[in-house]
Chain A
Amino acid sequence: LWILAPILTLVLGITIGVLVIVWLEREISAGLQQRIGPEYAGPLGVLQALADGTKLLFKENLFPSRGDTRLFSIGPAIAVVSTLLSYSVIPFAYRFVLSDLSMGVFLWIAISSIVPIGLLMSGYGSNNKYSFLGGLRAAAQSISYEIPLTLCVLSISLRAIRFDIVEAQSKYGFWGWNLWRQPIGFIIFLISSLAECERLPFDLPEAEEELVAGYQTEYSGIKFGLFYVASYLNLLVSSLFVTVLYLGGWNIFIPYIFMTEFLEINNVGRVFGITIARWTLPRLRMDQLLNLGWKFLLPISLGNLLLTTSSQLLSL
């Protein structure tokens, strides 16, 4: 029963992390677009995410009258739950992980495969042709970018002998990061994880509300809030995994600090970069997106795997 305390700490940490990310995103996008960001909610607008959440809580919770009510309700829940589950395997410091599985990363990949089901459910449940199509597109995007993701993770774990991915990076400090061992894999992983959580420039399901309709159109109130939160949660998880796998985990390049460095310090730079990418790059059209995933990233990630395996063979 003592497991509840770490779980609660983690959930609290995640919630604060999401708040911080929402605020960061608003501020960074404001800075990029040369305007002032949120400044009314809390000092410097820090409580903006809370204000958003409260607003969404009090909005009317609409159900489409002829849509499938049960699937409509369950859809966002599945997306959020799967994303939250994958937080349990992120190591925040040495052995500071909620569940020390030997195949933690695989759990993340497995669970992120459940997200398209939630999207399909929510697209189908709203009685709307366009949100249905949007849900199909979002699911197609999600499943097609899982494969380069998995292949990059595979090539990382080929280098680590016994899944001590982060500890193997701690040998050489800054230069031992997996980033330098596998630059191609880093870029592919970054792009694929951005596509998995439907951030820009793969924003088609989300911003389709501006264009035609996304699977989120018929949602209002807290269900939309769940999708909103799920997007940022997914962003946080993806950036944490990028940091764990490629950027040295909890070791920053100052090798003589005995305090356990937390992952977040390493992570903020990642989130910053992702948010900048969101507001600077144009959105990809759907066929260009799938084109990128299947025809471009998949062969390159296979080539990356081949390179890794051949270098393992040559050096052993």
Chain B
Amino acid sequence: MILSVLSSPALVSGLMVAQDKNSVHSVMFPILVFRDTLGLLLLLGLDVSAMMFPVVHIGDIDVSFLFVVMMFHIQIAEICEEVLRYLPVSGIIGLILWWEMFFILDNETIPLLPTQRNTTSLRYTVYAGKVRSWTNLETLGNLLYTYYFVWFLLPSLILLVAMIGAIVLTMHRTTKVKRQDIFRRNAIDFRRTIMRRTTDPLTIY
């Protein structure tokens, strides 16, 4: 029951992302999607991946989308046009993604990916010797930082490039902006800045 409570709002919110005319709403609906998939992951027992969802997806990706949507001027005339004429191409992409889901879900009965064929041998391993209760976090850390560390470092490099790219693309150097150099400002000696001038006491007004 909890599964349907969580998964149906996820699907509906996913549809609403594309449907809603208000662009801010259509960026708010992914928050609902992420929250419901977070609940689904928690039901599966993957606590770490579930905790990654608020940090990465809601907290960073969605906030970035919100910043883009809110700060850039999006033409409203584009939103009111007919959506149905995108159906052939979007239908093909949707079918591809749906088909990809079945790669993962039903891999035993429909062997589309080249996995090992001798799947029956897995049933005869002695599990009593293999019981070691690691938490999810420990297993992830153990694998990610030792065996798959290259794949851990590569996304960080990609993210660095993306960050620098975003900054470079949007930065425009303004040479006429007056900036303060705080250290220089603190080092000013007043005896050298205030000029002495004799003032005529009769002509002060």
Question: Which residues in window 1-60 of B have CB below 8 A to A?
Answer: 22, 24-25, 28, 31, 47-48, 51-55, 58-60
Question: Nearest chain B CB to A309's CB is how many angstroms away?
Answer: 11
B97 close to A (CB within 8 Å): no
Chain B interface SS verdict (over half): helix
A95-126: CB near B (< 8 Å → 1, else 0) gives 00000011100110111011011001100100
User: What residues of A have a CB within 8 angstroms of the CB of B54 in the complex?
Assistant: 110-111, 113-114
Q: Complex: how many Å from CA A245 to CA B135?
A: 21
Query: Which among B61-69, B82-90, B110-118 touches the partner chain?
Result: B61-69
A146 close to B (CB within 8 Å): yes
Chain A interface SS verdict (over half): helix
Chain A's interface size range is 20 to 34
Do B59 and A143 have beta carbons less than 8 Å apart? yes
Question: Nearest chain A CB to B104's CB is how many angstroms away?
Answer: 25
Question: Nearest chain B CB to A110's CB is how many angstroms away?
Answer: 4
Question: Which residues in window 151-199 of B have CB below 8 A to A?
Answer: none
Do B63 and A120 have beta carbons less than 8 Å apart? yes
Q: Which of A110, A117, A139, A140 contacts B51 (CB 8 A)?
A: A110
Q: Which of A109, A110, A111, A136 contacts B71 (CB 8 A)?
A: A136
Q: Complex: how many Å from CA A150 to CA B52?
A: 12
Q: Complex: how many Å from CA A35 to CA B169?
A: 53
Q: Which of A103, A109, A111 contacts B135 (CB 8 A)?
A: A103
Taking A71-B25, A103-B137 as given, write out 8 further A-B residue pairs in contact, using a Cβ cutoff of 8 Å, ordered by the A residue number: A71-B28, A102-B47, A103-B48, A106-B48, A116-B59, A117-B58, A120-B63, A132-B70
A-side interface residues toward B, CB under 8 Å?
A: 68, 71, 101-103, 106-107, 109-111, 113-114, 116-117, 120-121, 124, 132, 136, 139-140, 143, 146, 150
B-side interface residues toward A, CB under 8 Å?
A: 22, 24-25, 28, 31, 47-48, 51-55, 58-60, 62-63, 66-67, 70-71, 135, 137
